[in-house]
């Protein structure tokens, strides 16, 4: 039987235990996209709290891939390396590995945010980020993105990170290439699973040329809710392609932004949506009761609310040899032990529990707590539209 609290390894990187902090946008970059002192302190608190490893909030690889959420990290130029070095050094004081998640937001942003056209594999408007019809990327644009991802990974290595995570899930640019729901291309970048994976394959190839065996892990969708979305059989193929491309580990999640609270299940936070969401600001308050019904029907979390990626992670794990990490609705220590002991995943990761209790792992280890205090109100998921990440505990 595996012990959750014994050390384990990803690509030779030692983790003190098998519980990982999954990437969560903190909204704590400074005004130009570098890690702020407040962000560094947040990671220090996580490191002190006993987590096995930290995956940072996402960092954009280029300007047109920046999120509309406030104060996103950027990793688009060499001048930023010195600022990330400070972050890494502070976390490493506690002997905790830290991975930089890198992304391009693709169609899940606004041109008014970036000052540039939004881009995607196909010119299909996002149903949530619906102000722009994205430009379909031409081949030179695709190769520019490949080069920018590889350069970002090289910067992460120079900054001292233990590795990077490619964000291939949740509807961002690389996720949209992988998904048949968002990629309708008929050239070599679309169509078959292998063609839709091609951009990731090129990123891995170019990155390995630049950084050698530096650890690169990936976060993928095990499935998407849309009828023509990515399903488990293709997720297994993508995992195999990643392994063949020298990816070092795979985190399994699900869903894309326009599908609602697929990846972050729990309560439907209408009160927070009414206060913070950019679209709600255009709606007269008299219509709120009707809008609440419509939005809840469209975006509310499906069942189950807990452990909803475990079965898919297990099936993916059965098909590859590299480590698998599972995220999604994991709250109880007994469930974590079960997932690890029964070989459903090599590691588990959590996001929202670390917002309310950054020392949750230490509490688990010391026997002070058996379950996260997170009530899955999802207020934190909406609050980040205009503020830094924090726990609201169901109160506006």
- Residues 237 and 246 sit within 8 Å (Cβ to Cβ): no
Task: Assign 281 a pLDDT band (cuts: 50, 70, 90).
Answer: confident
Q: Considering only CA atoms, which of 215, 221, 231, 224 is closest in space to residue 323?
A: 215
Architecture of the domain defined by 8-264+303-383: Alpha-Beta Barrel (3.20)
Q: DSSP string covering 102-157, please? A: EE--TTSS-HHHHSS--EESS----SSSTT-PPEEP-HHHHHHHHHHHHHHHHHHH
Mean pLDDT of 13-42: 98
Q: Is the pLDDT of residue 1 over 70?
A: no
Instruction: Please report the pLDDT score of residue 265 as a whole number.
Output: 95
pLDDT in tens, 310-363: 999 999 999 999 999 999 999 999 999 999 999 999 999 999 999 999 999 999
Find the catalytic residue in 83, 172, 241, 392.
Answer: 172
Three-state DSSP class for residue 300: coil
- Residues 353 and 391 sit within 8 Å (Cβ to Cβ): no
Active site residue 393: no
Instruction: Please report the pLDDT score of residue 91 as a whole number.
Output: 99
Domain ranges of the chain: 8-264+303-383, 267-300
Report d(CA 20, CA 2) in Å as an integer.
16
């Amino acid at each position: 039987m595996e012990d959750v609290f014994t050390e384990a390894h990803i690509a030779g990187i030692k983790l003190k235990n098998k519980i990982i902090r999954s990437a969560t946008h903190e909204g704590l970059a400074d005004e130009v996209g570098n890690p702020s002192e407040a962000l560094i302190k947040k990671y220090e608190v996580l490191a002190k709290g006993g987590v096995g490893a930290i995956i940072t909030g996402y960092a954009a690889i280029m300007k047109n891939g920046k999120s509309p959420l406030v104060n996103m990290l950027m990793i688009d130029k060499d001048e930023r390396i010195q600022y990330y070095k400070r972050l890494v050094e502070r976390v490493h004081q506690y002997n905790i590995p830290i991975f930089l998640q890198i992304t391009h937001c693709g169609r899940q942003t606004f041109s008014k945010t970036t000052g540039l056209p939004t881009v995607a594999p196909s010119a299909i408007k996002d149903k949530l980020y619906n102000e722009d019809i994205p430009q379909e990327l031409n081949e030179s644009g695709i190769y520019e993105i490949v080069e920018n991802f590889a350069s970002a990974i090289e910067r992460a290595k120079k900054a001292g990170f233990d590795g990077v995570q490619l964000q291939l899930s949740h509807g961002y640019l690389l996720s949209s290439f992988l998904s048949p729901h968002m990629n309708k291309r008929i050239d070599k970048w679309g169509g078959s699973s292998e063609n839709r994976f091609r951009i990731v394959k090129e990123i891995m190839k170019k990155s390995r040329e630049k950084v050698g065996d530096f650890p690169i892990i990936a976060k993928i969708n095990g499935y998407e809710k849309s009828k023509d979305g990515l399903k488990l059989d293709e997720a297994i193929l993508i995992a195999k392609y990643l392994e063949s491309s020298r990816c070092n580990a795979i985190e399994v999640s699900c869903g894309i932004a326009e599908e609602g609270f697929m990846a972050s299940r729990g309560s439907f936070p209408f009160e927070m949506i009414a206060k913070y969401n950019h679209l709600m600001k255009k709606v007269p308050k008299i219509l709120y009761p009707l809008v609440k019904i419509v939005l809840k029907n469209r975006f509310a979390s499906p069942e189950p609310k807990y452990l909803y990626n475990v079965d898919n992670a297990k099936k993916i794990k059965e098909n590859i040899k590299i480590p698998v990490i599972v995220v999604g609705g994991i709250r109880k220590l007994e469930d974590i032990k079960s997932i690890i002991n029964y070989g459903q995943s090599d590691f588990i990761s959590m996001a929202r529990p670390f917002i309310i209790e950054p020392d949750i792992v230490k509490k688990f280890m010391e026997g002070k707590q058996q379950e996260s205090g997170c009530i899955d109100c999802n207020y934190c998921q909406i609050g980040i539209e205009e503020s830094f990440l924090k726990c609201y505990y169901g109160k506006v």
